[in-house]
Structure 1
């Protein structure tokens, strides 16, 4: 079994210059959690996922670290307090980032496979703890020709066992 046997060929992509707000709206209307990002020549240049938007609208600087040292302790302990962000902050973040191109927030180092890659190659990416990806773009000459999701692999393995 190869990637071409598992992949979905009709892949929805976004352009690297698309506005963050437009891509966020597109993502909200879909049943999946990210898009491959392409350039003017339709070559894969990155991916943008829900995680990228969460990091954009929930910056890490909302946590305040307070050193506390009380006798008889010789070392201080750091306690993190999350200063929860509210709707106003979210709206301000959206307004501030709405005009940015998606290339500013996308992940550039994308793990891909070719159409002839084995199911084991795809599984190695999807199951790797350090990667934490849900989909693998299938590329040929840097152009996205398909995408394989975790669900695609599980479905194919189930069907093969049932056959």
Structure 2
């Protein structure tokens, strides 16, 4: 089995100019959690996932550094400060972030395969990093030709039978 046997070719994508609000609406209507970001010629520019957008509305991790001892304070204690979701003004965050283009929040370091990649390579990519939930399939020029999600691999294995 090769990537071409596992991939779907009718891939829903977004443009780098699409804004956060529009992409959030699209996520609300689909049953998957990431879109490839492509230009007009189908060159893959990145991936935007639900978690990329959720990160916009979560507070940055704040760390409190407490010096211990006498100057030059060679040791510190670190405490994590967690802000409860109820204390976040998500409405204000949404207004502030909703007009941003997806190109500003997408992941650009995308793991890809070509259509001739073997299934083992795809499985290694999907099982090696918990943040990789889909693998774009690109041609030699870098144009998107398909997408393989974890469920596509599982479905293919099921359909083939586990002998």
Fold shared per TM-score above 0.5: yes
* Distance in 2 (alpha carbons) for counterparts of 1:88 and 1:154: 38
State the partner residue of 1:4.
4
Establish whether residue 138 from structure 1 lines up as the match of residue 125 from structure 2: no
Unaligned runs of 5+ in 2: none
TM-score scaled to structure 2, two decimals? 0.86
Establish whether residue 19 from structure 1 lines up as the match of residue 19 from structure 2: yes
Matched-pair contact (CA < 8 Å) for 2:138–2:144: yes
Establish whether residue 42 from structure 1 lines up as the match of residue 59 from structure 2: no
State the partner residue of 2:57.
57
Partner of 2:8, secondary structure, is coil
- The RMSD of aligned alpha carbons is 2.1
| CA offsets 1:33-72 (integer angstroms, 9 cap, x no match) | 01000112221100000110121110314x34253869xx
* Distance in 1 (alpha carbons) for counterparts of 2:63 and 2:117: 46
State the partner residue of 1:110.
110
Shift in CA distance, 53/114, structure 1 to aligned 2, threshold 3 Å: same
Shift in CA distance, 87/38, structure 1 to aligned 2, threshold 3 Å: farther
TM-score scaled to structure 1, two decimals? 0.86
* Distance in 1 (alpha carbons) for counterparts of 2:38 and 2:75: 51
Tell me by how many angstroms 1:162 deviates. Answer: 4.5
Matched residues, number = 158
* Distance in 2 (alpha carbons) for counterparts of 1:8 and 1:113: 13
Partner of 2:89, secondary structure, is helix
Unaligned runs of 5+ in 1: none
State the partner residue of 2:77.
77
